Amino acid sequence: MDTRLLRTFVTLARTGGFTSAAAELHLAQSTVTVQIRTLERELRARLFDRVPSGAVLTETGRRLLDHADRVLAAEARLRAEAAADSAETGLVTVGATESLCAYRLPGAVMALRRTHPGIEIRLVASGKSEALDRITAGQLDLALLLDADVAAPRVHAEPIGHERPVLVAAPGHPLVGREATWPELAAESFVLLEEGCGYCDDLADRLRRIPDARPRLTRFGSIESVRACVAAGLGLGLLPEVSIAPDIAAGRLGVIPQPRLPDVPVQLVRHRDRWTAPAARTVMDTIRTLAAAGWPTERSR
């Protein structure tokens, strides 16, 4: 069987449209149609239902999708072995949340440049949903996420460390430096990272569960936006300690020490079934080592 047909099948299943699949594969749309029909003839099964919006997997198509993924992974491994791929060379694409990209992974990149100069690392700032989608689609080799729950089909998550989230406010806020109760917090305005940030979502849910509470929540897409709004007095914020330690030390932000919020696991995520290239395994080993050592990085702040 021509594995190009399987690649087209997997891509169409993920994109849900012949036009999108053709663009991603750099093929004419008619070629995608012909390849899917050819594969269906070879398998003697209908893989997709054609609908006005594109293509939807049939029950048979859903059953065969994982098998196709495994065949393509085996092909990738065969090609890598034939090319004498080693742990010393290769491009590894790593997705990570903003704080890990900015404050943790640069140290891993520097360490790998010293020990494995043939490995090129491409960092991609990604939220949880985006990273999981890209892992599933094969667009990321691995990802680092700050979340207690990253369960997703065909994804393996391994906790390798923790980050401490800190509740902060503008200097001079009456709650800075003293214990705060949950009812007191629920009466405040909050500036949080966008929905999908697990620890911010958990805080928002807890605030909403307080009787008669109507917390005012504003969500932003970046740590810098949240930090600037909190420093300006627009609300309380919850951010990883590593990202705001300089602001706390310089007095630009004040810490609200209570209630103590649980540390957030750092999860190393990869595809459950797809073959992991030697260079990617080397990167994962380096990240695990640095996390176990408390993330000594070149960008310690």
Could you report the per-residue pLDDT of 55-98, keeping only the tens digit for each?
999 999 999 998 888 888 788 777 766 655 555 788 899 999 98
82, 105, 131 — which closes off a domain?
A: 82
The answer on 243 and 170 residing in a single domain is yes
Task: Specify if 301 maps to a domain.
Answer: no
63, 82, 101 — which closes off a domain?
A: 82
Would the CA dihedral through 239, 241, 246, 248 be positive or negative?
positive
70: domain CATH number is: 1.10.10.10
Find the mean pLDDT for residues 162-186: 93
252: domain CATH number is: 3.40.190.10
Q: Band of the pLDDT at 186, cuts 50, 70, 90? A: very high
pLDDT at residue 8, rounded to an integer = 93
d(CA 238, CA 99): 12
pLDDT at residue 301, rounded to an integer = 40
**Nearest Cα to 149, choosing from 124, 127, 128, 126?**
128
Residue scoring higher pLDDT (206 or 273)? 206
**Nearest Cα to 290, choosing from 96, 152, 141, 149?**
96
Share of the chain above pLDDT 70, in %: 95
Report whether 126 contacts 97 (CB < 8 A). yes
Q: Band of the pLDDT at 299, cuts 50, 70, 90? A: very low
Q: Terminal CA-to-CA distance of the chain, rounded, Å? A: 54
The answer on 244 and 108 residing in a single domain is no
Averaged pLDDT of the chain: 89
pLDDT in tens, 93-118: 999 998 999 999 999 999 999 999 99
Task: Specify if 287 maps to a domain.
Answer: yes
Task: Specify if 300 maps to a domain.
Answer: no
The answer on 175 and 234 residing in a single domain is yes
Which tokens go with 215? Answer: 């917390």
pLDDT at residue 298, rounded to an integer = 47
pLDDT at residue 137, rounded to an integer = 81
Q: Distance between alpha carbon 74 and the CA centroid of its chain, in Å?
A: 25
Report whether 1 contacts 10 (CB < 8 A). no
pLDDT at residue 291, rounded to an integer = 93
pLDDT at residue 24, rounded to an integer = 86
Report whether 115 contacts 143 (CB < 8 A). no
**Nearest Cα to 101, choosing from 119, 126, 84?**
126
d(CA 170, CA 248): 10
pLDDT at residue 152, rounded to an integer = 81
The answer on 257 and 196 residing in a single domain is yes
Find the mean pLDDT for residues 257-274: 88
The answer on 221 and 188 residing in a single domain is yes
Number of compact structural domains in the chain: 3
pLDDT in tens, 130-164: 899 889 888 899 999 999 888 888 899 999 999 99
The answer on 191 and 240 residing in a single domain is yes
pLDDT at residue 179, rounded to an integer = 86
**Domain hosting residue 53, numbered range:** 3-82
Residue scoring higher pLDDT (174 or 86)? 174
